[in-house]
Chains A and B, each alone.
Chain A
Amino acid sequence: MADSPASSTGVSDQAPQVDGDRQQESVVIRFSGDSGDGMQLTGDQFTNASAILGNDVSTFPDFPAEIRAPVGTIPGLSGFQVNFASNDIYTSGDEPQILVAMNPAALAANLEDLQPGGVIIVNDDAFTKNNLRKAGYDENPLDNPDALRGYELHRVALTTLTRTALEDIEGMTNQQKDLCKNGFALGLAFWLFDRPLDSTLSFYAKKFAKRPQVVEANTRALKAGYAYGETTESFSGRITVPARTEVPPGIYRRITGNEAVVLGLVTAARKANKTLFYGSYPITPASPILEGLAALKHFDVRTFQAEDEIAAIGSIIGGAFGGALSATASSGPGIALKSEGIGLAVVLELPMVIINVQRGGPSTGLPTKTEQADLLEMFFGRNGECPVPIVAAATSGDCFDITIEACRIALRSMTPVYVLSDGYVANNSEPWQIPDVDAIAPIECDFRTDPKGYQPYMRDPKTLARPWVVPGTPGMEHRIGGLGKQDGSGNVSYDPADNEHMIKIRAEKVARIADYIPELEVNGPEKGDGLVVGWGGTYGAIRAASERMQHEGHSVASVHLRHLNPFPRNLGEILGNYRHILVPELNLGQLSFILQAKFPFRVIQLNKVQGQPFKIREIVDKIRSILD
């Protein structure tokens, strides 16, 4: 998402009327079907075409935790929502205006989210007795004029039409042909929103390069869907969403948060001139980072799939001791397992980055859903006084910058650093202006090799960082460990004064990071009635909500905390400039708790823990109720 200044606020409020061709600023479309129906791929292709066309896009993939939940049921649904617009948007949209439902379960589960007056496209063939029963329908809602009153319904026999289109392809079973029906639906969506087919056609050609028959089948289904829109009179017109105009020039691509973390780590390693070591144990939604890095051995990236998360954090402590830029990522239960190791890393004062892609908790919780409920764990979830710097990504693209920022802090202050991401940011994809790598500042972090006057815990007078000396350096052999120690020498010490000194100096070292991180910028008026304070993946919804209020003439601003420990040094001053402070969070009030403890201002909470991101409207409503 491009951070261009105040523009209109994303999702338009009316649903489109398909009544002759018309233009809209933005549209939210949701594809929903069985997890075997290829909805992720369909949504992804639709997004790609829209991004290439020049729209701003934001996506919300929503898939079941089970790989294959029972076919035709609500738990087995996989959805993909795309918000595409000719202005800047910050979220994947509150509610869809168009729903593509591949079966009755998809209709049943998504209907209540659909905007009044919205368009429903269903696969008519899938509304069989059996499927209706599985979705909990006693009768076919498509046949009941009351059931879908107020919506514009399009019954398309996707299965039959797809089979017909592929009729003369030999050697393909009906079952195989049916797998192409998402292509038909996509083609129809392309027609409806006037998107070119090229990017998807070349995607098919590349993805199925070894199976020309599959390329042919998908190509035909896609084109048939497009032609269906054009030739039938089912739709009375098309909806166009023109390209954005005020977009900073440059080369763009789409990126998810997890992809951006991968690129951020590799870039940071290059900028620091270090080998990248990444140890991790697979877990949703963090696994794609390990998968992404494992394929980058040509960048001298060394990945280690550990036996568990304890081993993963141990391995990166070893990697850091050995002089590599070291990182790990996990989620929920895996982060909990790492905490003892992170305590050791704090005491060893070695640089490393721990990425927490938060998911719904507690315990195993909601693995594929999003939440922000680990913030206090990051602050306090270790034994003893054990400060760890914390940064959090605001958007998918920001995962790139924040990862580099975390590496910079880790290497500069010789400390483990937490990066908070979440299921939403990790999976959401958005346009990303590809940065010029040469313009990214180098990360200075030289190993010390001079034995003269060396002590393992001697400190940089400014940052309080200790020197990084790697094994293999002659004349500087030293031992470090988790026991209480004496500053300077690092020798084991049970002296009470040494213990207190070490605890205080570690805390001071982290506090001093505030000296070199950027100040916080306010989006909106510098003083006023309301300030909305956010962190993490709620950035888009908060920004859109506060901008909507500004457009209505209210003096409401927003700030977004990318640095959570320490906070930017001007945070207290900013908080003091507003009558009301609202903190929306996908938890029960964790940032609120910290702000309340640190600053003398009352904070109003807005909390949600449903595994779903905020809707812009939910925040707007809350701001209204405060201002009233």
Chain B
Amino acid sequence: MTQTVESPLARKDFVSDQEVRWCPGCGDYAILAQMQKVLPEIGVAREQIVFISGIGCSSRFPYYMNTYGVHSIHGRAPTIATGLKSVNPDLSVWVITGDGDGLSIGGNHLIHCLRRNVDVKIILFNNRIYGLTKGQYSPTSLGGHRTKTSPMGSIDYPLNPISVAIGAEATFVARTQDTNTKHLQEVLRRAAAHKGTAFVEIFQNCVVYNPTAWDHTTKADIRDDNILYLEDGQPLIFGKDRDKGVRVNGMVPEVVQLGDGIDEAELTVHREDMDNTSYAYMLSRMLHPEFPQPFGILRAVSRPSYTDMLVQQVDEARASQKADLAGLLHSSDTWVVE
């Protein structure tokens, strides 16, 4: 995977010949553009990169990437990625999924891929709606959300993708947003470099069916008060004027105003590498509007990946035992007929 490329690749090398067919203004365009920008920089040959998706607007993504790709069936991309990685561990495998694809029909595969720490990158486009099927509520739609299938408001409690990922003990969990170009790039870069499952939630705007879902994190006048940018080793400070912080009071976080006798030293310092998931989980539970929502890398820990361990077992077995096929066929009580 660390194979270096002869002539440096550029963004255009990752653009496929297929016409992109999302609605004008859809957040998916921005994500595609940043992915195409980042991939030439990660030091992986183009033919070593594979995108695998399920079904949904977001899942059309692989058709637009000039890499290897599979547009599969609803919710099942992690399973295909796992098989592919198992037989070809050197590939850089990316799963593209949506909030419905990844958390509804494919929720089971998602958590199992995460817990196994299969070395794939899972990018979940969260628009809190079923886009492709034209606007039904999804497992991340907020309570009360009125859609065609919830005319009186959704009575489902939503899932929080990063809480799910942390609950499944994902080794890399991050959140970013379609329009935060720089931040998105940085998160993708980090995800690409992670060994093991990297889970990235991207707040993605469905301009047609759920255009206000991310107003609080995108509108220029309020977004900085609603986003907490995480930086490893730095205190949890946020706000347009960077005058607010988060400190942990017992087990619960609280937002505090800096000044007035409270200084930075009292704030919680962010650490990505805590083996215990409680802190990352606590961060993931910081919900709007009570809290700013954490953006960046909530958790990045190192654990042997499923694929590494699989290869290791195969290597060990091969080193200790000969693959004698005729011997295998005879490996039972035998008798000879003359």
Contact = CB atoms under 8 A, between A and B. Distances in A.
B87 A302 contact: yes
Interface of A: 48, 51-52, 54, 199, 247-255, 263, 266-267, 270, 275, 277, 279, 296-300, 302, 304, 306-308, 310-324, 326, 340-341, 343-344, 348, 434-437, 470-483, 491-492
A255 B332 contact: yes
Interface string B286-321: 000000000000000000000000100110111011
Interface string B59-93: 00011011111111100111111111111101100
Given A51-B335, A253-B330, A477-B47, A270 B73 contact: no
B259 to A, nearest CB: 51
Most buried by B among A251, A311, A320: A311
Contact of B47 (A249, A304, A324, A471): A471
Contact of B72 (A306, A316, A344): A344
Contacts of A341: 73, 76
A310 B76 contact: yes
Nearest to A2: B337
B328 A481 contact: no
A298 B323 contact: yes
Nearest to B335: A52
B109 A471 contact: no
B328 A323 contact: no
B328 A326 contact: no
29 contacts: A54-B335, A247-B337, A249-B336, A250-B337, A251-B336, A251-B337, A252-B335, A255-B332, A277-B83, A297-B317, A302-B310, A311-B112, A312-B79, A314-B79, A315-B82, A317-B80, A318-B87, A321-B83, A322-B91, A341-B76, A437-B325, A472-B48, A474-B45, A477-B46, A479-B62, A479-B68, A479-B69, A481-B63, A491-B18
A598 to B, nearest CB: 31
A556 B330 CA distance: 38
B312 to A, nearest CB: 10
B322 A470 contact: no
A344 B76 CA distance: 11
Contacts of A318: 52, 70, 79-87
Nearest to A489: B17
Nearest to B75: A310
B334 interface: yes
Contacts of B320: 298
Contacts of A314: 72-73, 76-80, 82-83, 109
Contacts, number: 209
A216 B81 CA distance: 52
A263 B329 contact: yes
B: contact size bracket: 35 or more
Interface string B100-122: 00000000110010000000000
A476 B83 contact: no
Given A52-B333, A266-B328, 16 more contacts: A253-B332, A263-B329, A310-B76, A311-B108, A312-B79, A313-B79, A314-B78, A316-B83, A319-B87, A321-B83, A344-B72, A471-B47, A478-B69, A481-B71, A482-B72, A492-B18
A492 B76 CA distance: 20
A478 B74 CA distance: 20
B118 to A, nearest CB: 10
A472 B47 contact: yes
A263 B86 contact: no
B16 interface: yes
A476 B323 CA distance: 33
Which 9 pairs show the lowest CB-CB distances between chains A and B? A314-B79, A318-B83, A481-B71, A315-B83, A297-B317, A318-B84, A479-B69, A318-B80, A471-B68
Contact of B323 (A253, A299, A344): A299
A545 B204 CA distance: 68
Given A254-B332, A319-B87, A321-B80, A476 B63 contact: no
A212 B240 CA distance: 77
B84 A321 contact: yes
B260 interface: no
A57 to B, nearest CB: 12
Nearest to B331: A253
B108 A307 contact: yes
B56 to A, nearest CB: 13
Nearest to B83: A318
A307 B81 CA distance: 14
B83 A319 contact: yes
